[in-house]
Amino acid sequence: MKRIILDTNFLLIPIQFRVDIFSELGRICNFNYNLCIFEQTISELKNIIEKQSGKSKKAAQFALKLIRLKNIGIIKSGQKDTDSLILENLDKNTIVATQDIELKRQLLKKGTSVVILRKKKYLELY
């Protein structure tokens, strides 16, 4: 069973780009997987809701709803930022879904599979 860690910015895709990330993950992942996030992701989403407005705020609110509706697992973690936690919690069965270019570069360098949004329309697994 693979574990797909969703980065905060990845959870904003459904509102920002009108892409159903869950059906897209089902399309590109022909293996069993569990979706999960770090508890810092929830803090980051709440921070976006408090400090931003418009589409970003709506996207973060919707992301919090999706976490509950889709029963996405929450990984308890320390006080580090989400990117550091992701980089420290990798194994051969971990895939990371992110829009962060720098994080993607570091993950690919370590040999970790990455899911990204391509052409603002569909997901791709690297």
Q: What average pLDDT does the segment 12-37 reach?
A: 95
Ordered by where they begin, the domains of the chain are 2-125 (3.40.50.1010)
Mean pLDDT of 93-113: 94
Q: What is the mean pLDDT of residues 83-105?
A: 91
The H-or-E segment that residue 86 falls in is: helix 82-88
Answer yes or no: are the C-beta atoms of 63 and 45 closer than 8 Å. yes
Q: pLDDT by residue (tens digit) across 37-90?
A: 999 999 999 999 999 988 999 999 999 999 999 989 999 887 778 888 888 888
Q: What is the CA radius of gyration of the chain?
A: 14
**Token pair for 22:** 């869950």
Which of 76, 85, 71 minimizes the C-alpha distance to 34?
Answer: 71
Beta pairing partners, 33: 2
**Inter-residue contact 88 to 75 (CB < 8 Å):** no
